[in-house]
Amino acid sequence: MSKEISPLQKLRYEYKPKLPKALRGTNVSVSFGAAGTPDGDGEKIKELFPNTFGQKLVTITEGGDAVPNSPIKVGVVLSGGQAPGGHNVIAGLYDALKNANPANKLYGFLKGPAGIMKGNYVELDDEIIDSHRNTGGFSMIMSGRDKITTDEDLSNCKKNFDALDLDGCVIIGGDDSNTNAAVLAEYLRAVGSKTCIIGVPKTIDGDMKNEYIETSFGFDTACKTYSELIGNICRDATSAVKYWHFVRLMGRAASHVTLECGFQTHPNITLVSEEVSAKNTTLGEIVDYIVDVIVKRAEQGKNYGVLLVPEGLPEFISDIKTTIDEISAILGDKEKELAAMSETAEKIAFVSGLLSEGGKKVYASLPASAQQVLLTRDSHGNVPLSQVETERLLIDLVGNKIKQLKAQGKTNAKFAAQNHFFGYEGRCAMPTNFDADYCYSLGAAAAVLVRAGLTGYTVNVLNMTKDSDEWVAGGVPVTMMLCIETRKGKDTPVIKKALVDLEGKPFKYFAANRDEWALNDCYTFPGAIQYYGPSEVCDITSKTLALEKN
Ligand code: FBP
């Protein structure tokens, strides 16, 4: 039985992603720029990465002293949360390898880094690649969140790379996975392995960016998918005129997704975690701000509105953040004791008993479901905040406050709320033209870096607010982006997460407009992602990138 595909899917299989000029042919070379050292913690990073520290920035250029063309074997793995465009990175890598030399081979490691460690892989061929071109999701080879940490993990990777005789392996992941790529590259260099490791900046969260990485792939599509839905909700709010919609948006730490959706739709309230943190705002003060807007809108006869809240908010509220840090230290110190407990309630009581007086109070004020989530860490030590229902918590607290004000005769506001969480809905959407082109370029550039024998690099594409003719691809040494953070109570090298910069152009634009958006109905309706039609509709970058670059 043939598998039915949608008409759009069929057309997208045929879409030819745009590439930077230098990557359109096979005669490419690499040129080296300045040697990269991280902003801070340089000495510590140098000690940890003696073999890969201090490498130079790389730009891929047309012609020149071309990179070698002898046949090579390359592996690829998808790591962490899904992000639209992952399949195009693999397709770009595959096409570039095959165009350079048809004898080149590409292997996909299955279900994330665990596939490398266990030696589970599939050889990728035309049929697999062609049926995944320009599609969303990571279903081609699947993903996983395992982390390559111990000496045994590292030597298992080497063993499996050697068995396949791999010249290179491309790790498609976020900040943690690219850090992992650096650790693996360093290990392989130290033991004299020929396998080069190249990272690719992926995450819908948009927080893997810096001077050399303009945006992580997937951010554009995910935000546009959520923004379509938020725009629809704004229209519903002004049609039914009886609900406040509280929408939580994915993004583990940074508020980039929420801010971008705010730019796209102009909701009445957009909470930005980084601002909350900078101002030491408490949960009570956040509730007061929301109530103030609700009351003022009610005075204009508008008992409806839309609020956006970033998933990462709890970790940025000063009193909750301190409590999470205390819990992380306890989880590190008392790992064995906690592992021996089977009941969640027992764990909650145990951890609670070890918290400071302040921490105890904050922890006790949270619903049991949130208390439980705060005891969980993923393999990279992160709290799985996508499981904390902050929007419901805010609805409850705001509802209570409005009741109090009503009882005191201070408002007539009617508050009926709907809650939403948009996260998983956007992570596997069909990539926008921007993400499809960007990802295909990243894959093609990764092939060049491997052919050039470079290791410990994250591939990059610059100039992306311009026409693809002007895009410039290359690589940035991962060690250049590292800093030292405390994870599970230990000093750990990590890629600096780019949080929303309160001095940056995007936030300033938001701050200048938010009061008007709060009280007036300035909603905008981006509609569904368009793949065909005028370029100003189909090829536009995110507003965040446009504001940052202009
Ligand atoms: P990555 O950092 O791996 O790209 O994942 C981002 C993310 O989508 C976050 O926004 C979210 O908090 C998390 O993954 C959800 O994790 P999971 O997929 O394990 O539920």
**Confidence category of residue 111, pLDDT binned at 50, 70, 90:** very high
Mean pLDDT, to the nearest integer, of 259-282?
97
The predicted-structure confidence for 308-318, as pLDDT tens digits, reads as follows 999 999 989 98
Q: Which long-range contacts (CB under 8 A, 24 or more apart) does 529-532 make?
A: 529/221, 529/224, 529/225, 529/228, 529/429, 529/430, 529/432, 531/8, 531/11, 531/12, 531/15, 531/430, 531/432, 531/433, 532/11
Ligand 1 centroid to Cα of residue 190, in Å, is: 32
Ligand 1 centroid to Cα of residue 266, in Å, is: 25
Active-site residue (options: 146, 205, 207, 437): 205
Give φ, ψ of 112 to 5 degrees. Answer: 80, -165
Q: Do residues 448 and 28 lie in contact, with contact meaning Cβ atoms separated by under 8 Å? A: yes
Q: Which of 484, 548, 482 is nearest to 175 (CA)?
A: 482
pLDDT at residue 281 greater than cutoff 70: yes
| pLDDT for the residue numbered 3 | 80
| pLDDT for the residue numbered 386 | 72
**Confidence category of residue 58, pLDDT binned at 50, 70, 90:** very high
Burial (CB < 10 A; 0-12, 13-18, 19+), residue 250, is buried
Q: Do domains 34-218+431-487 and 320-385 have the same CATH topology?
A: no
Could you please state the CATH topology (level 3) that the domain comprising 225-312+388-425+497-550 is classified under.
Rossmann fold (3.40.50)
Superfamily per CATH, domain 320-385: Phosphofructokinase; domain 3 (1.10.10.480)
67 beta partners: none
Could you please state the CATH topology (level 3) that the domain comprising 34-218+431-487 is classified under.
Rossmann fold (3.40.50)
Q: Do residues 460 and 38 lie in contact, with contact meaning Cβ atoms separated by under 8 Å? A: no
Q: Is 550 helix (H, G, I), strand (E, B) or coil?
A: coil
Residue type, position 343, single letter: E
Q: Residue 176 catalytic?
A: no
**Confidence category of residue 388, pLDDT binned at 50, 70, 90:** confident
| pLDDT for the residue numbered 64 | 81
Task: For Cα atoms 258, 262, 266, give the angle at the middle one, nearest 5 degrees.
Answer: 160
| pLDDT for the residue numbered 381 | 75
Mean pLDDT, to the nearest integer, of 34-52?
85
The predicted-structure confidence for 455-492, as pLDDT tens digits, reads as follows 999 999 999 999 999 999 999 999 999 999 887 677 88
Q: What is the rounded CA–CA span in Å between residue 524 and residue 267? A: 8
Which helix H or strand E contains 246, and what residues bound it?
A: strand 244-249
Q: Residue with structure tokens 């165009």?
A: 99
Mean pLDDT, to the nearest integer, of 373-401?
86
Q: What is the rounded CA–CA span in Å between residue 68 and residue 75? A: 18
**Confidence category of residue 124, pLDDT binned at 50, 70, 90:** very high
Ligand 1 centroid to Cα of residue 80, in Å, is: 7
| pLDDT for the residue numbered 186 | 97
The predicted-structure confidence for 215-245, as pLDDT tens digits, reads as follows 999 999 999 999 999 999 999 999 999 999 9
- Ligand 1 pocket, CB under 6 A: 80-81, 83, 145, 174, 203-205, 250-252, 311, 385-386, 427
The mean predicted confidence, pLDDT, of the chain is 94
Determine the residue of 111, 250, 255, 422 to mutate for testing ligand 1's pocket, defined as the one with the most ligand atoms within 8 A of the Cβ atom.
250
The model's pTM: 0.93
Domain ranges of the chain: 34-218+431-487, 225-312+388-425+497-550, 320-385
Q: What is the rounded CA–CA span in Å between residue 275 and residue 277? A: 5
Atom of ligand 1 nearest to the CA of 382: 12
| pLDDT for the residue numbered 15 | 97
The predicted-structure confidence for 489-534, as pLDDT tens digits, reads as follows 778 899 989 999 999 999 999 999 999 999 999 999 999 999 999 9
Q: What is the rounded CA–CA span in Å between residue 437 and residue 540? A: 12
Mean pLDDT, to the nearest integer, of 167-196?
96
Q: Do residues 178 and 203 lie in contact, with contact meaning Cβ atoms separated by under 8 Å? A: no
Q: What is the rounded CA–CA span in Å between residue 253 and residue 233? A: 25
Cβ-based neighbour number of residue 491 at 10 Å: 11
